[in-house]
Chain A
Amino acid sequence: MNLLRLSWRMLLREWRAGELHALSFALLIAVGGVTAVGFFTDRVNQALTTEASQLLAADLALVADHEVNSEFISEASQRGLTPVRILTFPSMVVSATGNQLAEIKAVAPGYPLRGKLRIQSGESERVAEGIPDPGTVWLDDRLLAQLQLAPGDSLELGAARFQVAAVLSFEPDRGGGLFSIAPRLMMNAQDLPATALIQPGSRISHRTLLAGHPREIAAYRAWAAPRLARGEKIEGISDARPEIRSALERGGKFLNLAALTSLILAAVAIVLSARRFLERHLDGCAVMRCTGASQKQVFLLYLYQFLWLGILASLAGCLLGYGAQWVLARQLGGLIAAGLPAPSWTPLVYGLLTGLATLLGFALPFLQRLKRVPPLWVLRRELGGPQRINLAGFAAGVGVLLAMLLWQAGEIRLGLYVLGGLAAVVVVALLLTHALIRLLAPLRHKVGMVGITWRYGLANLVRRRHASASQVVALGLGLTALLLLTLVRGDLLHSWQSTLPVHAPNRFIINIQPDQVKPLQVFLGSHDMAAAELFPMVRGRLLAINGRAVSAADYAEDRTKRLVEREFNLSWAERLQDDNQIVAGRWWEKRSAAAQWSVEEGIAKNLGIKLGDELTYQVAGQSFSAKVTSLRKVDWDSFRVNFFVIAAPALLEAYPASYITAFYLPAGDEALLNEMVRTFPNLTVIDVAALMNQVRVMMERIASTVEFVFLFTLAAGLMALYAAIAATREERMVEAAIMRTLGASGRQLLLSQMAEFILIGLLAGAVASLAATGLGYVLATRVFHLPYAFNPWLWAIALAVGVLGVTVAGWLGTRGVLRQPPLQTLGRLG
């Protein structure tokens, strides 16, 4: 007997009989969902990466304080990575009316490799084509104002003369340290020799920008990393601005969460459908065994059927997913400015493998049970029925799922949290269901205490104990996913976006002299910019920790080395800023507090500073020591002024300080700045509005893509819910038809079904609210690092949706029975 051919014929037969529709549909939707999410997140991730690379003006940058070895350049060219070199250095710029220190950026044709420059010449602001022509330069408006120049005027830079051709209004890669930004002059690298500014010993930053296929970029990075010499380093997209990095990471996590959830929901739907398949085939299998088929033959027969089905449904699912992601991409519209790149083929492979692996992983335990059905089953159901499904049988399925999760998410932690949450939901649901059934079971014998309909509902719940428990599990999981997707997601996205408040400061003022503090506050106050807090800033250098001298050589990380080598900004304060949080020790409460330090936890970790350590600083030529009495957590996303190291007033008050402040300047109020600069000519104003806008737009885009992806996961959740209801639908219809025969009225039928549905819905709602609360908390605090806000609505909504959803779905499912003659429901009588 050719089992493979026979299995195919049986599959066709089963298909015609409608036996496999539900299972195939679940699998198709699941694979469709997974691939759509896969395709889509793949494309969105690519697009997001593109956007992030604009902040670097490249995909990768090689940064050095000297000219890099030419092998780096030739290797990049060989790999087709189009290297473009740019140099930046500080220099004085001289005009007819004065001179000003500026940051010069000499660029070569091709710059920027990612993103666009914008310039203003005449009235219109537009995207620049190319770079400044030789002999001309572009200045930002700050430098233009300081030198009192206008386009068309000329200026001197080093030994050369240049004509100002345009105002430089936007550079994609104008990131860098906020406080080191001097006004900008951009020139053509060809003109560099003429300026004679490139001399040995001058402070020049050499950047080599690279762009190309992600694979090549990664390969180049791997090639270059071990060859880096002192003073050379590589910056990738993820090394770009930390705000962007955390936005990208969080966005990626949201998308992955969506994909993971849809995968799990798929597994739920498969388990439910496979279980139903098992129940309907026990008889057939037993008959086959009676007629002489071996266990192995029976098993293979069904295994092959499932393989056929898995391949076909997964392929169809991949097609569906491919189609769906186009729709998704279309819905996204112009949200991603960079445009979505063409989908790659990986999600297709992934979808196929996921479909097959999930189907087999979760259906095999049922098939195995099918194979063990004793022939005697035909005669006596209660005797030697196949053993119950061993939960351990799903270990393979869960393993497959886990592997898929890790592959897709690439994040063990997120995967484990989601799986752990899932396991907890299953256990809690089973425990709750069995506890409730045990509690309620005696009620069914107490005539008079509960009506016939409730007793009947209860009886059904008790008899279908295992089916009911798995329904509660599935419904609970589905509801959990829906809750996570709607409420918790909303909360998470909201608290993420609120990390960058609408009126976050967009201008920084530095260089404020102590005697200007009061007048400036008055000035700002009179222009409705009250509450602007001014922070003292004292330049200091860390000399020793616990008496042991620190040196750059003790630290591996470049950033840390730099922190140790240079002076950096210290501050003193009486009050703790409200976006700071003490994580160890205590904040001094009084102005008169003894000399002590408070250190930001991140830098404390990098520098190896612990609570109670004694730090020796040198300020203005004097050195002094004090103990660290607290470690702080700082919200760097807030765009507010913050300091790594803060002293109690007593420690630093006496030293010369300048002040810094940040405030929100509404768009259109720029005239105020001119007035301020006239009143306080020495102040330097730094504009971070454009930068913040970039961050905000990015956040919004990520949030809306996430919303779209979640929408799809929502459909997968509904599928799981549907499978849960459908699992017992036919059984219910038959029972309803029998009750009809015995004279039950429509009302009685409905009530008896409702009783069971309400109990199941309540249980599922309770399980889901527990799970969503717990998972929401864990996700917020552990994975997304956002503050968690408990949402009491979650419980109300979960219970209401559980009861209403299940009852309405159940009612829709059995409603037909009420209008149909019983025999038509029962089908042919034997």
Chain B
Amino acid sequence: MQARSLSRQVPVSDGVLTILHHLDLEIASGESVAIIGASGSGKSTLLGLLAGLDLPTSGEVHINGENLFALDEDGRAALRGRLIGFVFQSFQLLPALTAIENVMLPLELAGTASARELALSVLQRVGLGERLHHYPKHLSGGEQQRVAIARAFATQPKLLLADEPTGNLDSATGGRIIDLLFELNREQGTTLVLVTHDAELAARCGRRLRLVDGHLVAE
């Protein structure tokens, strides 16, 4: 995955705010990268752009050789369905669906036949085998986060982008989730891009990049 000269500016009341400034990033397949930085430095913004969830002011992102921003919304969605798993900082579970239905959703959208079995096994792996039929509003913050993570890698994506995946977890559960992520990285060659404040998690990644003033600086 490549990002070239990526910029993102947003209009604010007194002019424009530059969040990302001609940022370049290259991540090889199977790598694990931690993005760290102060609060408000633009980590979530960057992650959103890498997944094609937002449009940059300028610059390009190539995934598997495909130019993300040359595609239309439908094209980007299809590409995400095939290749990318995304964990939102605020989970974004669908409130109408139970935990297992939330995890099944991307599988079903992709037309996977054994969606229920797959979703079940993933939920068991994140320790939520007992919570399958609970609705998000009946789950704690950490549980919701684990459902969100389960949903992101249920489709066995080539690229997993996770925004503070352990932010709401105690160290024991957090540790298990981290193990899980790196298992995936080892077994299936999944590329991991993690935004995190967790030093332990950052330390386990192959590379650590710090976002300062709209640029990435290697640690």
Which one of A743, A818, A821 lies within 8 Å of B55 (CB-CB)? A821
Residues of B within 8 A of A745 (CB): 74, 77-78, 109
A742 to B155 CA separation, bound complex (whole angstroms): 10
Asked if B96 and A742 make an inter-chain contact with CB atoms under 8 angstroms apart, the answer reads no
Q: Is B163 an interface residue (CB 8 A)?
A: yes
Asked whether B97 is an interface residue with its Cβ less than 8 Å from the other chain, the reply is yes
**Which chain A residues border B44 with CB–CB below 8 Å?**
829
Output the nearest chain A residue to B54 by Cβ-Cβ distance.
Answer: A823
Q: Are B80 and A742 in contact (CB under 8 A)?
A: yes
- Interfacial chain B residues near A830, Cβ < 8 Å: 89-90
- In the complex, are the beta carbons of A746 and B90 less than 8 A apart? no
- Does the CB pair B163–A452 fall under 8 Å? no
B48: chain A residues within 8 A (beta carbon): 823, 829
A452 touches B108 (CB 8 A): yes
| Interface membership of A744, Cβ < 8 A | yes
Bound CA–CA A735/B138 (angstroms): 18
A741 B96 Cβ-Cβ under 8 A? no
**A284-292, A420-428, A458-466: which lies at the interface:** A458-466
Contact assessment for B53 and A748 in the assembled complex, using a CB-CB cutoff below 8 Å: no
A741-B73 in contact (CB<8A)? no
* Docked complex Cα distance between A826 and B74 (Å): 17
- Name the residue of chain A whose CB is nearest to the CB of B69: A821
Instruction: Provide the bound-state CA to CA distance between A459 and B110, in Å.
Output: 19
Which residues, 445 to 482 on A, are CB-close (under 8 Å) to B? 447, 452, 456, 459-460, 462-464
Q: How far is the CA of A452 from the CA of B44 in the complex (A)?
A: 30
Q: Is the CB of A744 within 8 A of B96?
A: no
Interface status of A738 (Cβ within 8 A of chain B): yes
Nearest A residue to B52 by beta-carbon distance? A821
- Pick the residue among B73, B92, B97 that contacts A820 (CB under 8 A): B73
B142 interfacial by beta-carbon distance below 8 Å: no
Answer whether A743 and B78 are a contact pair too, CB < 8 Å, given A822-B53, A829-B48. yes
**Docked CA distance A820–B53 (Å):** 9
Interface residues of B in 78-108 (CB under 8 A from A): 78-82, 86, 88-90, 92, 94-97, 101, 105-106, 108
Q: A459-B101, A741-B86 are contacts. A826–B92 as well, Cβ < 8 Å?
A: yes
Establish whether residues A748 and B109, one from each chain, have CB atoms under 8 Å apart when the complex forms.
yes
A829 and B115: CB pair below 8 A? no
Which chain A positions have C-beta within 8 A of B97?
Answer: 456, 459
CB-CB under 8 A from B137, the residues of chain A are 381-382
Bitwise interface map of A from 806 to 829 toward B, beta carbon under 8 Å scored 1, else 0: 000000000000111111101001
A818-B73 contact, Cβ under 8 Å, with A741-B80, A743-B81: yes
- Chain B interface size range: 35 or more
Question: Residues of B contacting A746 with CB < 8 Å?
Answer: 73-74, 77
Whether A206 sits at the interface, judged by CB under 8 Å, is: no
**A739, CB-defined interface residue at 8 Å:** yes
Interface centre among A381, A743, A745, A826 (most CB of B within 10 A): A743
Counting chain A CB atoms within 10 Å of each CB, the highest count among B80, B88, B94 belongs to B94
Whether a CB of chain A sits under 8 angstroms from the CB of B146 is no
A464-B74 in contact (CB<8A): no
**B215: CB under 8 A from chain A?**
no
**Segment 341-400 of A: residues with Cβ below 8 Å from B:** 381-382
Q: Is the C-beta of B51 less than 8 angstroms from some C-beta in chain A?
A: yes
Q: How many interface contacts (CB-CB < 8 Å) are there between A and B?
A: 90
A452, B92: Cβ atoms under 8 Å? no
Q: How far is the CA of A294 from the CA of B183 in the complex (A)?
A: 51
Q: How far is the CA of A735 from the CA of B88 in the complex (A)?
A: 14
Contacts of A821 on B, CB cut-off 8 Å?
52-55, 73, 76
Cα separation A462 to B163 with both chains bound (whole Å) = 31
> Chain A contacts of B110 at CB under 8 A?
743
Chain A residues with CB under 8 Å of B115's CB are 447
Evaluate contact between A739 and B109: CB separation under 8 angstroms.
yes
Query: Given A460-B96, A821-B52, A823-B53: A743 and B88 within 8 A (CB)?
Result: no
| Contact pattern, A 312-354, Cβ under 8 Å of B = 1, otherwise 0 | 0000000000000000000000000000000000000000000
- A746-781 contact mask (Cβ, 8 Å, vs B): 1 or 0: 101000000000000000000000000000000000
Tell me the smallest distance from the CB of A753 to a CB of chain B, in Å. Answer: 12
Which residues 152-191 of B have a CB within 8 angstroms of A?
A: 155, 163
User: Interface residue tally of chain A, by bracket?
Assistant: 20 to 34
Specify the main secondary structure of chain A where it touches its partner. helix
- Inter-chain CA distance A635–B194, complex, in Å, is 85
> How far apart are the CA atoms of A211 and B74 in the complex, in Å?
75
Which of chain B's residues has its CB closest to A752's CB? B109
Which chain B residue has the least Cβ–Cβ distance from A460? B96
Contact of A829 among B79, B80, B89, B94 (CB under 8 A): B89
Chain B residues near A462 (CB, 8 Å)? Answer: 96
Question: Could you tell me if A447 and B116 are in contact, using CB atoms closer than 8 angstroms?
Answer: yes
- Given contacts A381-B137, A748-B109, A821-B53, A743 and B90 within 8 Å (CB-CB): no
List the A side residues contacting B55 at CB < 8 Å. Answer: 821, 824
Q: B109 contacts which of A381, A382, A744, A824 (Cβ < 8 Å)?
A: A744
Q: Is the CB of B101 within 8 A of A743?
A: no
Which of B48, B76, B86, B109 gathers the greatest number of chain A CB atoms within 10 Å? B109
Q: Tell me whether B51 and A741 are in contact (CB under 8 A).
A: yes
CA distance A819 to B101 in the complex (A): 26
| Distance in Å: Cβ of A282 to nearest Cβ of chain B | 12
Residues of B close to A748: CB separation below 8 A: 109
A741 to B84, alpha carbons, bound, how many Å? 9
Min CB distance, B2 to chain A, in Å?
19
Q: Which residue of B lies closest to A819 (CB)?
A: B73
Which chain B positions have C-beta within 8 A of A447? 115-116
Interface string of A605-643 (1 = CB under 8 A from B): 000000000000000000000000000000000000000
**A740 CB–B CB distance under 8 Å:** yes
Please indicate the chain A residues that have their CB under 8 angstroms from the CB of B208 in the complex: none
Determine how close the nearest CB of chain B comes to the CB of A812; give it in whole angstroms.
18
| Beta-carbon contact of B77 and A743 below 8 Å | yes
A823 CA to B97 CA, complexed, in Å: 21
Chain A residue at smallest Cβ distance from B135: A463
Q: Closest residue of chain B to A822, judged by CB?
A: B53
| A459 CB contacts on chain B under 8 angstroms | 96-97, 101
* The one of B54, B95, B105, B163 that contacts A742, using a Cβ cutoff of 8 Å: B105
Closest chain B residue to A742, Cβ basis? B106
A748 to B73 alpha-carbon distance, docked (Å) = 13
Residues in chain A near residue B108, CB distance under 8 A: 452
Q: List B contacts of A818 (CB < 8 A).
A: 73-74
Interface residues in B29-78 (C-beta closer than 8 Å to A): 44, 48, 51-55, 73-74, 76-78
Can you offer 8 A-B residue contacts whose CB atoms are under 8 A?
Answer: A735-B96, A738-B94, A739-B94, A745-B77, A745-B109, A821-B73, A823-B53, A829-B89
Q: Enumerate chain A interface residues (CB-CB to B < 8 A).
A: 381-382, 447, 452, 456, 459-460, 462-464, 734-735, 738-746, 748, 818-824, 826, 829-830
**Contacts A739-B105, A741-B86, A820-B73 supplied; 6 other A-B pairs, CB < 8 Å:** A381-B137, A738-B94, A743-B80, A744-B81, A744-B109, A818-B74
Q: Which 8 A-B pairs have the closest CB atoms?
A: A743-B81, A463-B96, A823-B54, A742-B106, A452-B108, A823-B53, A381-B137, A460-B96
